[in-house]
Every structure is written in structure tokens, then in C-alpha cells.
Structure 1
Amino acid sequence: MINILVVEDSSVVRDFLVFILSSEPDMNVIGTAANGREAVEFVKRKKPDLITMDIEMPVMNGMEATREIMSSIPVPIIIVTSSYSQSEVEKTYKAIDAGALAILAKPNGIGHKDFEKNRKELIKIVRVMSEVKLVTRKSKFSKVVQETTINKPAVDIDESKINYKIIAIGVSTGGPQVLQKILSALPASFNIPIVIVQHIPPGFMEGMVEWLNGCTALDVSIAKDKEELKGGNIYFCPPEYHLGIDNKMRVELKEDAPGYNIKPSVSYMYRSVGKHFEKKAVGVLLTGMGKDGAEELAMIRERGGLTIAQDEESSVVYGMPGEAAKLGACKYIMSPDKIVEKLISLNK
């Protein structure tokens, strides 16, 4: 049984979340709170398995409550919010910085066409996050680097002799935390363009880009169609598009791509990058649910490109990188610290 605390100042939304969660046989809402202070006090008395946390609340907001809870009695926290105002999005990413694991938009009402989709997404995230072994920013990630030989190219590539043209990163649940860790450690002299597909609710991409821009020496932006990639820049795929790169290093955004059910798709990006850049491509697959990108990462490796997956110990959810590891899609399986070291070593 998953014991849940629902933190939300709107009584209507609070009751709606309780209704959705309580309808599941393996979930039990053990309490509710109307503000962050009530949430902190509740956790001191009775520790839940998971917290759904609103951001804008009276007395104490969700960001402050997350910071206080994670610093004293760590509990998996999901941010569930509906406002895309600059102030709320900023607080949302500060909550992620403090240790919250994921961001979800508040579900639409029962009569809405997206209700069932929203409900299933909330339930799925709650189930997965309730089992997460918390990884905090102070955790000491494994320094062990695993090197795999399955799907190894017929001719082993000497990385030191390759002039890598592009780094493609795929990430989902738990992504903002690990991206912040990796991107903030790259020096201003890093000159390989980076393209990223991050699964995230619409309305939160701009806030994440702004947050990351304050953490890294590189320029972070949302990719624009036909834009030419430049060194020292990081480009995020817009949430409503698929992202490809042509052979002239230009962005190609597509609203629809037959055969790709997730949008944006890591698989779509990897296939494009592997096709056009082959051994000069780097594919990195980080924490996330499901298997988006795993098979296509193997394709990059088979074409001579360098492939890396995040290790299980440091992943919030070892779905996508775990699938890649099973397929032998990654040359290296690494902690974020080691991924940073490897990427810096490729910079020329």
C-alpha cells in the first residue's frame, strides 16, 4: 500500500486528487494539507511514502516546504501544479533543485477529453516515485565505469582521434536534476553542440531553460526550426515537436512522425543523429521511465558513434538507461560525474 500526503490549498483540487488516488486499490491518502507548513508538520508526525505538492500556497509555498522536508525527513515529492506563471515556474524548479523528483500538470476534470490520460499519468508517476531510492545532490555517486561489449562495432573506435560533431541527450523522469548536475559542470570552452529531448509537461520547458541558463556557462535555448547548431550551445526540443538534425547541422522540427508514439521522442532524435553523423555522434541516455531511445542508441553504437547510459545507482528511474544496457546499446554505463568527465575529454 502506498501512503500518500496530498498538499494543495484549493479544496476543490485537493478533493479531486484524493478521489483519483483513493480509487486505486494500492493507494491510501493518509492525510491532506492546505499549505506547506501543514505538510512539514504532518511529515514530522507521520511519514508518508510519497507527497503530491502544489507550489503557490499561503503560509509556506511548495518550494519552501520541499526544501524543509528534504533536508530533514526526505520523502519522494511530486510537484503537481497548474499555473505556468513565471513566478510559479521559478518556484517549481527551485523545488526540483531542493529534491522534488518530478513535475506534473494538475489533472483536467472528469468531463475533459484528457482526463483519463491525465489520471493514468498521475497514477503511473505515483507508483514509480513511491519506490524511488532518493538520490540527493549530496549523494556520492558510484565512480565505477562499466564498459559493455554487446553491439560493439567491428572496428573499435579511438575516441581521442574523433572530432565529435554533436551530443544528443535523452531524458525523462528525474531529468532536470541530472541535467543540472551535468550541464553545470561543463566549461565555457566546451564547443560541441548539445541537443536534448526531455519529457516534460507543456508550459514548463521555458522555465527549465531559464533555470539551467543560470546554472551553466553555456547558452541554453529552445530549438527553432532550421536553426544551425553552434558550439557552446545547448538546444532543447520544444515539447510539442519531434527534433531531428540534418546533415548540415540544422534543426528539423516535426509535429508528427509516424511510428513514434511519444512526443517529443528520444528515439526520433537518436535515429536522425545516428543517420547523419555516425561515428561523430555521441548519444547519452539518462534517467527516465519506459524505453524511449534504447533501440536507437544501439543504432548509434552500431554505426560507430559513442554511446553512454546513466548507471542504476544514480538514476531516479532506471527505465530508459536500463533498457539500453540490456540491449548493449551503450559503450559506457556511468554516473553523472563520470559522464561529465567523458564529455569534457571529447572536447577539442
Structure 2
Amino acid sequence: MTSQKIRVLVVDDSAVSRQILSAILNADPSIHVAGEAPDGETAIRLARSLRPDVIVMDIVMPGLNGFLTTQQIMETTPVPIIIVSGIEDPDEVGIIFSAMQAGALLSLRKPAGPGHPNHLKEARDLVWNVKMVSEIRVVKRRPTVVSSPPRPFSHHNRGTGRGAPVRVIAIGVSTGGPIVLQEILSHLPAGFPIPILIVQHIAAGFSEGFADWLSQVSGFPVRLATDRASLKPGVALVAPDGFQMGIDSDHGIHLVDAPPENGLRPSVSFLFRSLAQVCSEKTAAVLLTGMGTDGAAELKHLRDLGAVTVVQDQKSALVYGMPGEAVRLNAAGYILTPAEIADLMVDLSQK
């Protein structure tokens, strides 16, 4: 029956796009498109009246764009929101992550129409993610306030790192990651001396814009990684899509056209395994919110080799798949909130 299906509201100013999105979603027997909206104002009204389980929304619309619409919905009638977009211009991608800052859970490339070689894959991705986010409980979001300063790190929560000075910090994250990364990086002081490597699962074409957005909102230098680039103190490098990212024996970035791992490229598992081979005892590895198990086994291997290993705590994680698997494997030397992770990173930088 329809009442047992995942009820979706589709929001897009293009009638053709609404038709394509609705056809993809209605083709799955567990999903029902409960309504369509051509603009943000209508979406806000229908979110209130229909109470959908998930909203699938374009970002560029007349009147209220996807960011402003997300902001108003999450402040009044919170619903899991997926942003779908064809934007690839790095200067414009930032609006997508602003929507995620306002409460949207993830962003996907807008599926191509039937007959396009990417249609089936992108349609499957959309359906899978709608099912995934329908299980996430979201709460009302209030207008952004200035973050409180970081708290001193609590030494009683120390893990099992063996005391070697940390020379690189690697972070793996998926669903819910942009906002957590923003919180962590914004807590780091100017002149933070350790290079940071980030694998964020993200839709193809969005990596450069994501790096630019994260740098702007956190105040911490963030760049898109390039092959053979040197690790620089106080700079975070984001893995580009379409490659696996590791480091070589000279501690430079190594981008590899290798197969996906755990269905992902870039994958956290590849980065963590690379660090285990090159500088395990001088690594701090962090696994944050995300669906699946990417990086969990490799985090355990790093811990066994003497690395500092950190997992986001369940209460603060939007999705506890990746960190939860790491805890199950006893891979976590520390289990911390994002603010506490930042405190630990500062503490490690002072050794």
C-alpha cells in the first residue's frame, strides 16, 4: 500500500526534470512520489501539508533557491533532504554545500534522461540514497550562531597511540561529512602545523567546489589534491573524484587510477592502507559519519601498527555505519565528538 512506501516530494523548476525524477522514483516498488513542486515556496507549503519522508530538490530555482528552501524547511518542518544538481562550476557548487550546512543530508548529480549512458547508474544511485536517508531522523535546525571556542582536550580520554610525533592526519567521511569537517577545521588554530588529508565521499564533479566551500566556511586552508603535490603544514588536501589517493615514500600525494574499493573512488580504505605502508606510527587517522564500512578495517590495521586512531561518537554522527563498524572491530583509540576531535588534533600538534 502507498502508506507503507517511502513518500517523496520532488522539487525542481524544470517540468522535464520533475518528470524524469518522478519516473525514476515511482519505478521502485518501495517509493511513492507524493507530490511535486516547481519552486521553493510551493515546496515549503507541501512539506508542511504532505509530510513527506524525503525531499529530492534542485538547487537552482527562481525565487527561493535550494539553499533558502532547505533552510526554511529545516527550521519549521524538518525532513531528510537530498540535493540533486547538474552544477559543476566550482564557483557555484558552494551553494549546494550551503544547503547541506542548512540541513540537507547529501548532494547527488541530477540523473540524466533515459537513453543517456549514465542514466541507469545515476537512477540507481538516487533510489538507493532515497531509501538510505529515509531511515535518518532529522531535527529542527535553528539559524546559525557563532561557534563556541574549542574546549581544552581531556587527557583522560587518551587512546592507545604509542607516542610518536604525528606527521600527518587522515580523515575519512561520507554522509553528513561536510558539516562535521567544517566544525573540526574551524576549531583549529592559525598556524596548525600538521598536514591533513581528507577523503569525503561525494558526487562526481563536486570535489573542487567542495574544497573551496570548506576552506571558506572553516577559515582553514583547504585545497583539492593534485598528483605529486607535497604535504604542507596547516593545509588540508581533499581527494579528487575519479582517483584513489595515497602518499608515496617521499610523503607526496599519489593519485592512482585504481578500481573502486567498497564501491568508492576515492575510498577511505585506500588512503588508510597507503599510510599504513609509509608512515603508520606517525599517522593520526580519523573516521567520521557515513554509511557503510569504508575504512573501518584499515583503521584497525593502523591502530595495530601504533597509529593514533579516532572515531566519531554515535550521538553526534548523522550515520553511524563507518564509525560503528570501526568500534565493532576495536579500531578506535578514541571515540569523540567533532569538537573533541579538533581538541585532540591540537594536542597532537604540540608534541
Give the TM-score normalised by the residue count of structure 1: 0.91
* Cα separation, 2, equivalents of 1:100 and 1:26: 22
Query: What residue is the counterpart of 1:218 in the other structure?
Result: 220
Query: What residue is the counterpart of 2:111 in the other structure?
Result: 107
Q: Which structure 2 residues correspond to residues 14-53 of structure 1 after superposition, within 5 A?
A: 14-53=18-57
Superposition deviation, residue 251 in structure 1: 0.6
Query: What residue is the counterpart of 2:330 in the other structure?
Result: 328
* Cα separation, 1, equivalents of 2:40 and 2:249: 50
Rate the CA distance shift 1:157–1:284 in 2: closer, same or farther, 3 A: closer
Indicate whether 1:180 and 2:182 are aligned: yes
* Cα separation, 1, equivalents of 2:133 and 2:263: 23
Indicate whether 1:192 and 2:207 are aligned: no
Deviation larger for 207-216 or 47-56: 207-216
Contact 1:260 1:268 in 2 (8 A): no
Rate the CA distance shift 1:241–1:137 in 2: closer, same or farther, 3 A: farther
Query: What residue is the counterpart of 1:283 in the other structure?
Result: 285
Contact 1:148 1:330 in 2 (8 A): no
Indicate whether 1:250 and 2:252 are aligned: yes
Among 57, 63, 70, the residue aligned to 2:67: 63
Q: What do the CA deviations read for 1:153-211 (whole angstroms, capped 9, x no partner)?
A: xxx545xx431011011111111111111111111121110001111112211111111
Contact 2:40 2:66 in 1 (8 A): yes
* Cα separation, 2, equivalents of 1:257 and 1:303: 26
Query: What residue is the counterpart of 2:17 in the other structure?
Result: 13
Rate the CA distance shift 1:216–1:60 in 2: closer, same or farther, 3 A: closer
Query: What residue is the counterpart of 2:123 in the other structure?
Result: 119
Query: What residue is the counterpart of 1:227 in the other structure?
Result: 229
SS in 2 for 1:5: strand
Q: Which amino acid aligns with 2:319?
A: V
Contact 2:8 2:53 in 1 (8 A): yes
Query: What residue is the counterpart of 2:7 in the other structure?
Result: 3
Rate the CA distance shift 1:186–1:148 in 2: closer, same or farther, 3 A: closer
SS in 1 for 2:117: coil
Q: Which structure 2 residues correspond to residues 75-86 of structure 1 after superposition, within 5 A?
A: 75-86=79-90
Q: Which structure 2 residues correspond to residues 275-314 of structure 1 after superposition, within 5 A?
A: 275-314=277-316
Deviation larger for 195-204 or 79-88: 79-88
Gaps of 5+ in 2: none
Q: Which amino acid aligns with 1:321?
A: P
Q: Which amino acid aligns with 2:87?
A: S
Superposition deviation, residue 218 in structure 1: 2.7
Indicate whether 1:268 and 2:270 are aligned: yes
Q: What do the CA deviations read for 1:282-328 (whole angstroms, capped 9, x no partner)?
A: 11011111111111111100100011111222222111111111111
Contact 1:186 1:216 in 2 (8 A): no
SS in 1 for 2:36: strand
* Cα separation, 1, equivalents of 2:140 and 2:334: 23
Superposition deviation, residue 88 in structure 1: 3.8
SS in 1 for 2:135: coil
Rate the CA distance shift 1:335–1:56 in 2: closer, same or farther, 3 A: same
Superposition deviation, residue 87 in structure 1: 5.5
* Cα separation, 1, equivalents of 2:261 and 2:57: 35
Contact 2:78 2:140 in 1 (8 A): no
Superposition deviation, residue 238 in structure 1: 0.8
Equivalent pairs counted in the alignment come to: 337
SS in 2 for 1:215: helix
Q: What do the CA deviations read for 1:241-285 (whole angstroms, capped 9, x no partner)?
A: 111112322111101258664211111100011121122111101
Q: Which amino acid aligns with 1:241?
A: F
Superposition deviation, residue 101 in structure 1: 0.6
Rate the CA distance shift 1:4–1:105 in 2: closer, same or farther, 3 A: same
* Cα separation, 2, equivalents of 1:20 and 1:107: 9
Rate the CA distance shift 1:297–1:137 in 2: closer, same or farther, 3 A: farther
Q: Which amino acid aligns with 1:343?
A: M
* Cα separation, 2, equivalents of 1:124 and 1:290: 13
SS in 1 for 2:274: helix
* Cα separation, 2, equivalents of 1:163 and 1:86: 36
Percent of aligned positions with the same letter in both sequences?
42
* Cα separation, 2, equivalents of 1:278 and 1:135: 39
**RMSD across aligned positions (CA):** 2.3
* Cα separation, 2, equivalents of 1:258 and 1:237: 14
Deviation larger for 190-199 or 252-261: 252-261
Contact 1:209 1:222 in 2 (8 A): yes
Deviation larger for 280-289 or 115-124: 115-124
Q: What do the CA deviations read for 1:127-147 (whole angstroms, capped 9, x no partner)?
A: 11111122677699xx9x9x9
Superposition deviation, residue 148 in structure 1: 11
